[in-house]
Structure 1
Amino acid sequence: MADRVDRLVENMRALQDELEDEFERRREEFHYRIERGRVIFEQDVLRRQRELRQRLGSYIAGARLLVVLTAPVIYAVIIPFVLLDLFVTLYQAICFPVYGIEKVKRADYITFDRGQLPYLNGLEKLNCMYCSYGNGLLAYAREIAGRTEKHWCPIKHAKRMAGMHDLYPEFVEYGDGEGFQRTKRRAPDARQ
């Protein structure tokens, strides 16, 4: 059974690689390259994209009233996001070296490249930065939590779960006491 699960996980990773290759092919269609972390568009593409930008005044004037009224609720979530960022970053900085867990690189999860898109106005860029931060932060925190779970309790749940992290397939089966004990023996100093 483990061989079949290993093959399925390998197939999933191959499909993810294939998907990323397709994304890369599509990126080439939009004629840009990345130099020292900056996106560089070809000049004619850059000009066309700037022409597509909606002026800020018309963007705001065209917004529905309820959208405007809910904006403070959306932006208030920045407070728990920043606190989460602070706490998970401190947690891994303090605890991961003690546990022998490889640290999660924050920059692999949080990126702000959408602000370089010339067809976005200032408010759209701000909104994109906010979404990039929120979703990137949650992925970063999930990876930290996943590595912690793999270290301390690498046991699958009995019930089916939505949204498993990438490390979950490596966990021992629910009810496999011998398998769990083997994982503890591989890192005897880690769980004492």
Structure 2
Amino acid sequence: MTSQLDTLMEKLRSVEAEIEVEMAKRREELRFRVENQRIIFEREVLEAQRAIKTRLPRYLLHAHPLSVLTAPVIYSMLVPIVVLDLSVQLYQAICFPVYGIPKVRRRDYLVFDRHHLAYLNAIEKLNCAYCSYANGMVAFVREVAARTEIYWCPIKHARRMLGPHPYYQGFADFGDAKGFRGKLEALKNGVKIEGAI
């Protein structure tokens, strides 16, 4: 028997698929394609992008002084992000095989492609690489944590949570002891077999 929640989740997946189709259409409008993980723009598009690039001297001359002063604080966050990266890789390398949980492929979450944009100068490209790494790392860690939660504690919270991971809706309801016991093994087996539920 399909619950209303299952129906809504199916609608959500359908909308996500529609979003992907619209994004593909937008890529066509912007006249680029991806071939063998390389981004290729049409020649005139590249020339138009280069024409609007803010050259480095002008960029630095017009930089807000507080932006320049806070940049070291922003970039200092690389240290804990790299430590987190290494720690989570070690964590899943040691723990996931013991429990039969498929490892999360880090490369699926770290995407560095903005350097192909000819309208960005060197500093903007560096900033984009930093943001790609930081946000990709957070997404990678979230997936590792989600697979861990599926295995150990697939129970929804009593209070509303903002931005739950994609597996959360399949968890047992808070306070539903029978539901928890019934779902626990199924979810553990699901994460072992499919890498997701």
Fold agreement, TM-score > 0.5: yes
Q: Look up the match of 1:9.
A: 9
How far is the alpha carbon of 1:80 from its aligned partner? 0.6
Once residues 145 and 12 of structure 1 are traced to their aligned partners in structure 2, the CA distance between those partners, rounded to angstroms, is 22
Q: What is the aligned residue count?
A: 189
Scaled by the length of structure 2, what TM-score is found? Answer: 0.91
The reply to whether residue 161 of structure 1 matches residue 197 of structure 2 is no
Q: Which runs of 5+ in 1 are unaligned?
A: none
CA contact (8 A) 2:96 2:102 kept: yes
The list of structure 1 runs, each at least 4 consecutive aligned residues, that deviate by more than 6 angstroms after superposition, is none
SS in 1 for 2:3: helix
Q: In angstroms, what is the RMSD of aligned CA positions?
A: 1.6
Once residues 76 and 105 of structure 2 are traced to their aligned partners in structure 1, the CA distance between those partners, rounded to angstroms, is 26
The reply to whether residue 29 of structure 1 matches residue 29 of structure 2 is yes
Percent identical pairs in the alignment equals 53
Once residues 62 and 185 of structure 1 are traced to their aligned partners in structure 2, the CA distance between those partners, rounded to angstroms, is 59
CA contact (8 A) 2:104 2:143 kept: yes
How far is the alpha carbon of 1:96 from its aligned partner? 0.9
SS in 2 for 1:34: strand
The reply to whether residue 177 of structure 1 matches residue 173 of structure 2 is no
SS in 1 for 2:158: coil
Residue 185 and residue 42 in structure 1: after superposition, are their counterparts in 2 closer, same or farther (change >3 A)?
A: closer
How far is the alpha carbon of 1:185 from its aligned partner? 4.0
Scaled by the length of structure 1, what TM-score is found? Answer: 0.94
Once residues 46 and 148 of structure 2 are traced to their aligned partners in structure 1, the CA distance between those partners, rounded to angstroms, is 44
Once residues 19 and 149 of structure 1 are traced to their aligned partners in structure 2, the CA distance between those partners, rounded to angstroms, is 28
How far is the alpha carbon of 1:166 from its aligned partner? 0.7
Residue 169 and residue 2 in structure 1: after superposition, are their counterparts in 2 closer, same or farther (change >3 A)?
A: farther
Question: Which residue identity does 1:181 align to in structure 2?
Answer: R
Give per-residue Cα distances to partners, 1:60-107, cap 9 Å, x unaligned: 110111111000010000001101111111111111111111211111
How far is the alpha carbon of 1:2 from its aligned partner? 6.2
SS in 2 for 1:98: helix
SS in 2 for 1:101: coil
